Amino acid sequence: MILPRFDVLVPESLEEALEMLGEHADKGVRILAGGTDLLVDLRRPIIPVHVPRCDGCAKHPGGMVYSTIDCELWLSEPTAHAGGSLRNALQDSRRISPQYLISLHLLRELKGIKRLDNGSLYIGATTTIREIAHSEKVRRCWTALAEGADNLGSPLVRNRGTLGGNIANARPAADMFVPTIGLNGILKLQSLGGERLLPARDFASGPGLTVIEPLEILTAVIYPAPLSYSGSSYYKLANRKALEISTVGVSVSLTLEAPDGPITDVRVALGAVGPTPILAESAKGILLGETPDEPLFKKAAQAIRKDARPIDDHRGSAWYRSNMVQLLSERLLKIAYIRAKRNK
């Protein structure tokens, strides 16, 4: 399958990129960062903006009709019909063939990793996965993020893929999105009207769908400064070691009051076991205020398993995924605990 026809626009500043986004919004436009997800999406069957698809209505019970102008529901509500596939297609930008791609590769203000004065970590949206994987400051203090970068794709994909692209693509199994939620990351979204900060956990609204506004660009991700005696971990379970989407992904971040003290904060994020990455809230009720030990972690892992909403697919059954959520959660809680004890 070949790529659809489109023009590539190359702004020289963020302001110019936002102006281009507004100018071409009604013609179909996508943001191009590394392209490792976008170009794959564009090679799939594309539904042009002006030809939505009907999967079944009273006039077309067999579905698969690409012109829905004469559907019975079209005049009253163009996006309503049996199954809702038409509405989903119009909401999902991956299903729409763009006329323009706006490339961000010249925007230096969107690149780089730096420590802010308050100790937080600031990573530009077009920073490559390879840069994150090779950053000592990331690996030392935000270990789960570095481990997510280690496990993403292949060397070629890591060289081109970007942090912002992996998160904005909003895949339930995204290797950078899951630890970003686990580390309480904050997304910086920019428009011509200003910027807004959004917790990463609130960004995805469905598989491949986000709450980003049409005229906004994800410009950076901010990770809060780790407290003393904090540790994190991430593990990707997949059918092979590289070039594979997660069957299950788990990220854990844990903070202790003292090396042998109780747990003061914990976040567990799950990938590939729901329509979006999941923040497992059950973990807090069991772990907060408690002194860590193996029975406690086992009990927490059993609760975390109940937060997962897996499905059966070709990568694994829901039963298998649920079991792996429990096993990996217990294992990663132990790893994060060991790391937290030595991170003063």
Give the pLDDT score at 66: 42
Q: Which CATH architecture does the domain made up of 230-342 adopt?
A: 2-Layer Sandwich (3.30)
pLDDT at 142 > cutoff 50: yes
Rounded mean pLDDT, 233-261: 93
The stretch 248-268 carries a mean pLDDT of 98
Average pLDDT over residues 292-299: 98
Confidence band, pLDDT 50/70/90 cuts, at residue 240: confident
Least confident of 56-60, 91-95, 256-260: 91-95
Please report the pLDDT score of residue 336 as a whole number.
98
- CATH number for the 108-223 domain, one of 3.40.50.720, 3.40.640.10, 3.30.465.10, 3.40.605.10? 3.30.465.10
Model confidence pLDDT, tens digit, residues 164-219: 999 999 999 999 999 999 999 999 999 999 999 999 999 999 998 999 999 999 99
- Confidence label for 96 from pLDDT (cuts 50, 70 and 90): low
Alpha helices in the chain (DSSP H): 14-23, 38-42, 85-91, 129-133, 136-141, 143-150, 155-160, 163-168, 177-182, 282-287, 294-307, 318-342
Provide the CATH topology of domain 1-46+97-107. Answer: 3.30.43
- What is the rounded CA–CA span in Å between residue 299 and residue 292? 11
Domain with CATH 3.30.43.10 in the chain: 1-46+97-107
Within 8 A by CB and 6+ apart from 112, the residues are 123, 124, 127
Map residue 299 onto helix, strand or coil. Answer: helix
Can you give the pLDDT at residue 6? Answer: 85
Q: In the chain, which residues fall in CATH 3.30.465.10?
A: 108-223
| Predicted confidence (pLDDT) at residue 143 exceeds the cutoff of 70 | yes
